[in-house]
Structure 1
């Protein structure tokens, strides 16, 4: 079913999902599977905004969301704005200062541990939910159950990261394997021979083409009877207890609406009266051909330098760390330029395969947790955004959780920590 035409010429659906990134697509799939007639709306084809460019990791080990650093030495290093893993635009710092202050406070070890207790309930299901959805969508070949690695250039970095891995294992059962130089070279023979060792997280999956995965999920949504439409989410309005959105196919109406617009979600929610503190961490990527028939078997994070190399369908993808900037600011891929020479010492990268660096925006909340649940002041309005570094990781479990909430089912996890009212 693709929606019913009304006497006014609009199309009628049960739910309209705004945003066709990984989160919005997964929400739409899970609602459609539960008998809802769903319209999925975006200004671009599914998976062509933030979901297009990422490291392709489904991070089962990610029970602690990425915290704001609290060590004085690290903060001073970041303040100089020369670090390869974090850069900032000076003109964005005043506006983002309140957000960063709350982010820093929530990163206190005690608060961070409390956040992890809630966050880990989502992470626990990230791999299983992706595998189930990929199987339904005929996309299992895009998932690689090989885990990923952190590699180290110094003993101090390896010791610090190993202590973290041990903590995650003791608290949440996260599996990891320590790799001495010989074992690391056995697994990744084309990496720099001077590396001190590595850590392997085997329970995580990786994706060979994130855009292809989101596209496959969206096509599965359509085979279930859902409808994807190019449209303008900013036209969302409610009239006579119905939500309306303008699309290229005409105006559509629905009794419920889901805002899953990633980094643009706060603009629409603010217009409806909700103040959600959302900021963006921008990231860049570039693809390279391997030199001399070199092969990269796992995604690999260079811990000391803050970039990741991942084998992708298009080539070896280099992804950068975080850039703090205004959402609409011009691209400044200085991090990519800074780490590319370092990455070439880690792995034999050849020529660039993209005409220009890709850039995307990670939507972040100051407590590092997504917003998932109802908007209390509007009947039939729901939120699903703010997943920061773990949008790809948490897309399917978020879609399932929100669909269960919207249809009155027993939820797979407790949704209370993710409510919008916490702000």
Structure 2
């Protein structure tokens, strides 16, 4: 353990919480700054998955054909809000560029390395805080209704196999024996046994915050207006000082990084879900991934969550809950025994970067400011890996992996 420093972590989502917890564990004096409530954004309503097998970038050669069709459907799995295009077109063009084979293969390698680091560090964090009981290895089952879709995804699983990610294939009746209750149209499934789930994302975030607070974490509620080397200025005019500052404010991070001379193409990629009572579908143990429809069905400790989709819009646009309703209609067809009653709808903005890789590293202005944002769908999964890298950067140690591809100057 090195020198103890005063550190400000901006952002009370899962990534900021994991960083704060890790720095507290290393003996630093940490203040967490959050503009709303703990896990007020995407961290509270996500799909609860530790998707360590999910190394395939969203920006991929195969996504382009699908995306063109999806873009035209206002409630489709990947849609664009047309009035917001002046603000989001630049991101979309970068997304298409990132889908080129050369960038795609590079992103896979980096994601795989991050996932391996996450598999190592997540159990360590749970053990430090007595939270092991809040995570279980329930596995993720990817489902297919056509041979073409199944064979196309098998090629992606070949990439995963190269990175030592295990999977099992179930075809025909074997699939329906493995997961009862599926519509008869499903002909195959690929099961990822390393997929894990937290009991409830909001409860999990609050538990981390409570544990870190008991160890000395201080929390300040207020919106950050400006970062300057060792100072954070709040919208209220209050100024907080520290030796180091970590920016982990999700989709709101780019506004602050741009003021530091580091423009980052981050948007709030909006996801929707409906959380149903636990009795809505009997016998659900695995996370079900409907890849062709871009949503998942997840067993939580207190319910069943049907969620997913990607809506490209500005962060402040009002939710379009027709998207969650459309997902529920599909879910009822694909899971005939699902009871769509007493559901609670939700929308959250994921911090998405076109190449599907987060920004982790020093700001261009100062090594006293560290960036850690832009994890997209993988904030929970990669939270402890990010915390490990941030702790190493803060202490000036060799990082556990090469972070060149994650630095802010790649844009």
How has the CA–CA distance of structure 1 residues 353 and 257 changed in structure 2, closer, same or farther, with 3 Å as cutoff? farther
Structure 2 SS opposite 1:321: strand
**Alignment equivalent of 2:369, drawn from 381, 388, 399:** 381
1:296 aligns with 2:284: yes
User: Which residue pairs with 1:163 in the alignment?
Assistant: 155
Structure 1 SS opposite 2:242: strand
> What does 1:300-311 correspond to in 2, within 5 Å?
300-311=288-299
The 8 Å contact of residues 77 and 83 in structure 1, kept in 2 or not, is answered as: no
How has the CA–CA distance of structure 1 residues 34 and 345 changed in structure 2, closer, same or farther, with 3 Å as cutoff? same
- TM-score, structure 1 as length reference: 0.90
**Alignment equivalent of 1:37, drawn from 8, 11, 29:** 29
In the TM superposition, residue 292 of structure 1 has moved relative to its aligned partner by 7.5
**Alignment equivalent of 2:123, drawn from 131, 142, 146:** 131
Number of positions where the alignment pairs a residue of Structure 1 with one of Structure 2:
406
What root-mean-square deviation, in Å, do the aligned CA atoms of Structure 1 and Structure 2 show? Answer: 2.2
Of 323-332 and 57-66, deviating more is: 57-66
In the alignment, structure 2 segments of 5+ residues that lack a partner are: none
> What does 1:334-413 correspond to in 2, within 5 Å?
334-347=322-335, 348-355=337-344, 357-378=345-366, 380-413=368-401
In the alignment, structure 1 segments of 5+ residues that lack a partner are: 1-12
1:111 aligns with 2:103: yes
**Alignment equivalent of 2:84, drawn from 77, 92, 96:** 92
User: Which residue pairs with 1:215 in the alignment?
Assistant: 206
> What does 1:1-400 correspond to in 2, within 5 Å?
14-68=6-60, 73-82=65-74, 84-169=76-161, 171-234=162-225, 236-238=226-228, 242-246=230-234, 251-289=239-277, 294-347=282-335, 348-355=337-344, 357-378=345-366, 380-400=368-388
How has the CA–CA distance of structure 1 residues 24 and 292 changed in structure 2, closer, same or farther, with 3 Å as cutoff? closer
The 8 Å contact of residues 289 and 349 in structure 1, kept in 2 or not, is answered as: no
Distance 2:167 2:374 in 1: 28
